[in-house]
Structure 1
Amino acid sequence: MSSPEHKQKIWKMIKHIKVGMLVTEDGDQLRARPMHLVQDEYDGTLWFYTRRSAEKVIEAKQDSHVCLSFSDQEDGIYVSLSGTANLSDDRELIDKYWNPFVGAWFPNGKDDPDVALLEIKIRQGEHWKAKESKTFQLYEIAKANMTDKTPDLGENEKFGK
C-alpha cells in the first residue's frame, strides 16, 4: 500500500496519460489490452468500464491478479501497478463515471445489462520519472559508457508489498 501523498503522486503521473495496458493471465498466456481511466481521483483503486462478457472479465475471475502499465515517453513517465481485479455492478459508480466517450463503446447505454465496472485495487507498483530532457539523458548514457557508471536518468521508486 502507499500513503495518501504517494497515491496523489501516482495519480499526478497517470491521470493525463488516461490509457493503461491491463495485463491478465489467459491460461498460461499473458494478455494485455488498453483500458481508459474514467475517474477524477485516485485512492488506491482504479475503475474501468467493461462488458461483463469480455474475455478480460473471465480471465480476472480465474486469476484476479492483474498488472496495469502507463507510459508517457514524451514526459519520461513510466508506471507499473499490480493489484486485484473484481467486477462491480455499483450503479451509483456506473452513473457517476458515465460520459459520452464511454457511451461510444456501449451503444445500448449504461443500463445495458452487459455494462459493468472493472475495479482494480492496487497493491504494489513501481514508477520512473526522467528528470531531464532527452539530450541530457543521452549525455548521461554516453558518460556512463565512458566511465562504467550507471546513468542517472531520474527517479525510480517501488511501493507496496
Structure 2
Amino acid sequence: MSSPEHKQKIWSLIKDIKTGMLTTKHGEELRSRPMVLVQDEYDGTLWFYTDLESEKVFEVEGDNDVCVTFSDTENHVYVSLTGVGRTTDDKSLIEKYWNPFVSAWFPDGKDSPNVGMLEIKVEKGEHWNSDSSKMVKLVKTAKAKAKNEQPDLGENEKFGTK
C-alpha cells in the first residue's frame, strides 16, 4: 500500500478529473465504462454510485479484480489504479456521498431499491505526469533518439503490492 503522502499525491492527480474508466472482467472479456468519483478525499479507497442490478455489479461479484484509469489529456496526467471491488447497499454510505448529480441517475432518490455503492480498495497503480507540450515532447524525443537514449517525458511511478 502507499504512504499517506503518496495517497495525497494520487488524490491531487485524480480529484479534478473525477471520471474514471472502470474495467471489469465479463467472462474472458475485459469491459470498461465511465464512473464518476463521489468522494472528497482519498485514503486508498475509491467510491462510486452504482445500480445494484447493473451488469458491472454482476461482473465484480464474479471476479472482483478491477482497474480504474483516469486521464487528463490537456494537462498530460494519467493514472491507473488496480484493486478489489465490492458493492454495498449501506445506507450511511449512500447518504454520505449523495449529491444532485447522482439523483439524476436514481430518480427515486436515496431510497431507490437498486441504489448502491461500488467500493474499490486500491492495491497498486501507476501514474504519469508530464507538464510538457507536444512540441517539447517531440524535441525531447528527437534529442533522445539522436543520443540513442530514452526521452524523459515527465514523472512516472509505480506503487503498491500484489
**Corresponding residue for residue 19 of structure 2:** 19
How far is the alpha carbon of 1:134 from its aligned partner? Answer: 2.6
Provide the TM-score with structure 1 as the length reference: 0.97
Query: Distance in 2 between the 1:139 and 1:102 partners?
Result: 44
**Corresponding residue for residue 126 of structure 1:** 126
Query: Distance in 1 between the 2:52 and 2:88 partners?
Result: 9
**Corresponding residue for residue 33 of structure 1:** 33
> Could you say what secondary structure the match of 1:110 adopts?
helix
Unaligned runs of at least 5 residues, structure 1? none
Answer whether contact 1:131 1:155 (CA < 8 A) is retained: no
1:82 aligns with 2:52: no
Answer whether contact 2:72 2:78 (CA < 8 A) is retained: yes
How far is the alpha carbon of 1:107 from its aligned partner? Answer: 1.0
**Corresponding residue for residue 151 of structure 1:** 151
1:97 aligns with 2:97: yes
How far is the alpha carbon of 1:147 from its aligned partner? Answer: 2.0
AA partner of residue 19 (structure 1): T
**Corresponding residue for residue 62 of structure 1:** 62
AA partner of residue 120 (structure 1): I
Query: Distance in 2 between the 1:84 and 1:116 partners?
Result: 17
How far is the alpha carbon of 1:57 from its aligned partner? Answer: 0.4
Aligned residues: 161
AA partner of residue 144 (structure 1): A
AA partner of residue 137 (structure 2): Q
> Could you say what secondary structure the match of 2:111 adopts?
coil
AA partner of residue 36 (structure 1): V
Deviations 1:19-60 (A, max 9, x none): 000000000000000000000000000000000000000000
AA partner of residue 79 (structure 1): V
Once the two structures are aligned, what percentage of the paired residues are identical? 61
Provide the TM-score with structure 2 as the length reference: 0.97
Unaligned runs of at least 5 residues, structure 2? none
